[in-house]
Amino acid sequence: MNRENIFIGGEWREGGGTGMQSRFPADGTLNATLSAASLDDLEQAIAAGERAWRDPAWRDMLPHQRARILHRVADLIEARADALSETQSRDNGKPLAEARGLVMSAAGTARYFAAACELIEGELPTPRIAGVMTFSGYEPLGVVAAITPWNSPIASEMQKVAPAIAAGNAVILKPAEATPLMALELARLFEEAGLPAGLLSVLPGKGSVIGDALARHPKVRKISFTGGTATGRYLAHVAAEKLIPVSLELGGKSPTIVLEDADIEQAARGICYGIFSSAGQACIAGARLFIHQSLYEPLMARLLALTRGLQVGHPFDPTTHIGPLINDRHRQSVIDYVALAREEGGRVLCGGEIPADPALADGSYFQPTIIEGLNNDARACQEEIFGPVLVAMPFSDEASLIAQANDSVYGLAAGIWTRDTARALRLSERLEAGTVWINTYKVFSVSTPFGGFKESGLGREKGIQGLKAWMQQKSVYLATGNAVNHWSDNKKGEQ
């Protein structure tokens, strides 16, 4: 067991708040203990961030010099990928292979924004005023808040920290209470890479205490949050009161659509990965499955065979497909949703239970579950379960399909499986979702913007757009001659 310090304004020290624990969801063992940040720690971190981002040594640093720091961070991540993957796995229970994928994704994100910060260009509009040239550029916002979830810590954290640093800001990172370890590892990596002190602080603690105070602080000039829609809605109100920008990546109940001409094997395997990887603990999980009635029976047969073959097991076992859920409390929520689905008339075709294997008894495991017999208006189809639970429904015509797929308060992602690319593109235009995958699912590129429609969020991460989201634009008007403004001349012609 380790005792962890927290990172405040470039210093590692004991937090001033209450005690916290990180536990391994696979067996409940203790990873580390630490003290949460206090409100005084928060004030010190923000004061240090204010000094650091205004310091001429950082403020005047050229983009390629900031890029070097991010490249060093990426180098360090890649060199320590095994150790970081194990920490990620111990922090939230992901199988090691998935954890390593997230770690390497974080390295790629650092490299992308290292390059992107050199590509931000100002604008030189066509002149519209005689004798005046106009141009604009981008500047940092100042001290910014990054509030991250527990399901993919290092990837989510780097998606916020890397562009915010590349843009020249100081970042206060508030990780999820359940998973503080990867954020602290990230702080070590940035410190070792040479990031000036004060530009990154990591403040673990309760969202209702540290997260709320961070968002409300008058010196914080942007809030970026990934997590639940209720919290996102609250933070949007906070940002509106302060008149500051906010980026929100929130919940989802994503539809996956299988058209009558789809490749059954390709679709079944993609659907299986889209809902059951990460034990379904993903905002973009393909939790609602719409299958054309002509393909329903053969596709379901193949999908059930694949699902029953998935290995639920210890995250460090290389044969494991599905690790534990984050904790017993969250697992009980998933169990309750399955019970609700049964009450609503759903039939559980597989899973729906805690594994019987005594070797898994101490962990928060749950079997991958497929349910049929529900209508799209059932609560199990409308509310985010955030676990390995798939609801399958047949459809007969395209009009009803689109209506059902869009009948959700969420609009984060969607999937389409078909051999007809032109039809898939037409459908993608009608789906109310920020990301649509065609004949694939749950693949990402850091160069492609990501975000949601409706209650799935506001703003976008990733891509050049995701870097500009951490900046503000300034326009300059430059008179090119010596013309005098005669507005103040004496109107009566007096000298």
Supply the residues annotated as catalytic: 249
Spatial neighbors of 166 by CB under 8 A, at least 6 apart, are 63, 66, 67, 70, 113, 114, 116, 117, 467, 470
Q: How far is CA 153 from CA 14, 171, 183, 270, 276, in A?
A: 22, 16, 7, 24, 18
Per-residue exposure over 291-307, b if at least 16 CB sit within 10 Å of its own CB, e if not:
bbeebbeebbebbbebb
Coil, helix or strand for 30? strand
User: What is the maximum alpha-carbon separation in the chain?
Assistant: 101
Question: Measured between alpha carbons, how far is residue 284 from residues 245, 292, 372, 413 in Å?
Answer: 24, 22, 20, 6
CA–CA dist 19, 238 (Å, integer): 28
The C-alpha atoms of residue 327 and residue 128 are separated, in whole angstroms, by 61
Instruction: Kindly state the tokens that stand for 469.
Output: 């989201």
Residues 310, 259, 281, 463, CA torsion sign: positive
Burial class (CB in 10 A: 0-12, 13-18, 19+), 81: middle
Distance of CA 11 to the CA centre of its chain: 27
